[in-house]
Amino acid sequence: MENLTLSENAKRFMDYAVDTLNTMDGAPQHSPAMKDEVIGKISTLKQYLQELEQAYIDNTPDDVSSPVDPEYIAAAGHS
């Protein structure tokens, strides 16, 4: 796995997804070799999606709790 930033992972996934979609054009007329190519691209696309997911997880905070207690906000008269 390459060491890409979250945005680089997202761009790579999106660019490859568009390329994969273009390769799928004319699917009813695809030869077995073309079908194998598309299936290979879809497999690679799945890998890129997993890497994008991991990059997202790596770039989000572990602590997702509210920094201020909602009870305090309610007691202070703010909503």
Domain boundary assignment for the chain: 6-68
pTM beyond cutoff 0.75: no
Question: Is residue 79 predicted with pLDDT exceeding 70?
Answer: no
**What average pLDDT score do residues 2-30 get?**
95
Cβ(34)–Cβ(16) under 8 Å? no
pLDDT for res 40: 98
**What average pLDDT score do residues 8-33 get?**
97
pLDDT for res 76: 65
At what angle are helices 32-58 and 6-24 packed, to 10 degrees?
A: 160
